[in-house]
Amino acid sequence: MKDNTRLSVAVIGSGNIGTDLMIKILRHAKHLKMGAMVGIDAASDGLARAARFGVATTAGGIDGLLAMREFDDVRIVFDATSAGAHRRHAEILAQRGVTAIDLTPAAVGPFVVPVVNLDQHLDAPNINMVTCGGQATIPVVRAVSRVTPVHYAEIVASISSRSAGPGTRANIDEFTETTSRAIESVGGSAVGKAIIVLNPAEPPLMMRDTVYCLVDEHADRESIEASVDAMVRDVAAYVPGYRLKQAVQFDRIPFPAQFAGRFGNPEFALKVSVFLEVEGAAHYLPSYAGNLDIMTSAALRAAEQLAANRIAA
């Protein structure tokens, strides 16, 4: 009997991110069901686990997926490969009317952060989940910008080097560019900058993120703090390990010379500093890999909402 309460999905990429995402779907998805797990390494742990769970698999990449009978029912595909590979995948999936949720920095489709702008892109054929740093920090930038204009926002994402696989390392340049653009277009900052730090410390440290926003010196501090607190709770609803490390910090500083004239000529600015920690749920990945967990959790939240809307239609 056909299940009309859940949409069939496929995951391309049988590495850490793809495997964690598959496990989340199998354990926690309400409107999704695993149709296929796709990789290019027949010996990967992700494909082996999928087979043990009874999920159809292929080591033939997207071409192998297209040849599977299970693909006929697939309506959403998660791409957990690389920016370069996704550009090819996106074109193929679009031709077949299948929605792509992109966990790479390819940015083919609109940037999506579930708590900020998912509702605006429910009909998009391809949505991009930005980056791990983007998912962790853009909600905070948006929390500030909905209270007062943000002239400049800078984020520093520090992750354990153990949780940075080959895909992450190969996409460092795309990470900084994609995240910076999304800080502006989604977060609402006039200028955005992103920095990623791979921390080699042992034992591994969990993901830490720092957000700096420059705003008008007379901005309402209590309103900013309340907005940030509310946003952190909203993100924690689907990423339980997401939390503030301390209260929001405020410092009155001389307005940076590099922005002279761009935002008028104020003498001082208010620097808003927010310090975050992201602990992973340890479904498949270790708990210190919050950078990977927030990506899979955000992608799952987005797909669940897409599926819920389609089922209800």
The structural domains of the chain, ordered by start, are 7-129+293-312 (3.40.50.720), 132-287 (3.30.360.10)
- Provide the percentage of residues in the chain whose pLDDT is more than 70: 99
Q: What percent of the chain has pLDDT over 90?
A: 89
State the pLDDT at residue 175. Answer: 87
Q: Rounded CA gap, 228 and 144, in Å?
A: 7
Q: What is the pLDDT of residue 263?
A: 86
Mean predicted confidence (pLDDT) in 290-300? 97
Give residues with Cβ within 8 angstroms of 119, minimum separation 6: none
Q: Is 132 a catalytic residue?
A: yes
- Across the chain, the runs of DSSP E, i.e. the strands, are 7-12, 32-38, 57-58, 74-79, 99-102, 126-128, 150-160, 189-199, 207-216, 242-244, 249-254, 268-278
Q: Quick one: pLDDT at residue 170? A: 77
pLDDT tens, 17-71? Answer: 999 999 999 999 999 999 999 999 999 999 999 999 999 999 999 999 999 999 9
Distances (CA, A) of 189 to 121, 147, 150, 196, 204: 20, 12, 5, 19, 32
- Do residues 131 and 159 lie in contact, with contact meaning Cβ atoms separated by under 8 Å? no
Residues with Cβ within 8 Å of 229's Cβ and at least 6 positions away in sequence, in order, are 244, 248
Q: How far apart are the first and last CA of the chain?
A: 20
Choice among 35-49, 96-110, 165-179 with the minimum mean pLDDT: 165-179
pLDDT at 173 over 60: yes
Tokens of 97: 């009317």
Binding-site annotation: residue ranges for NAD(+): 14-17, 163-171, 291
Which of these, 197, 205, 189, lies nearest to 148 by C-alpha position? Answer: 189
Q: Is 112 in a helix, a strand, or coil?
A: coil
What is the chain's Cα-based Rg?
20
CA distance 306 to 70: 20
Q: At residue 235, does pLDDT exceed 70? A: yes
Cα separations (Å) of 22 from 28, 77, 189, 215?
10, 11, 34, 41
Closest CA to 101 of 312, 300, 311, 240: 300
Strand partners, 261: 264
**CB–CB of 194/134 below 8 Å?**
yes
Number of other residues whose CB lies within 10 A of the CB of residue 124: 16
Q: Show Cβ contacts of residue 2 under 8 Å, excluding neighbours closer than 6 positions.
A: none
Handedness of CA 219, 223, 229, 234 (dihedral sign): negative
pLDDT value at position 1? 47
- Please provide the average confidence, as pLDDT, over all residues in the chain: 95
Of 135, 106, 75, the C-alpha closest to 306 is 75
* Residue 103: predicted pLDDT: 95
Binding residues: 14-17, 163-171, 291
pLDDT digits (tens, 9 = 90+) for 113-169: 999 999 999 999 999 999 999 999 999 999 999 999 999 999 999 999 999 877 678
What angle, rounded to 10 degrees, do the helices at 290-312 and 132-145 form?
70
In this prediction the pTM is 0.95
127, 132, 144, 248: the active-site residue? 132
- Residue 2 has a pLDDT of 59
Residue 258 has pLDDT above 80, yes or no: yes
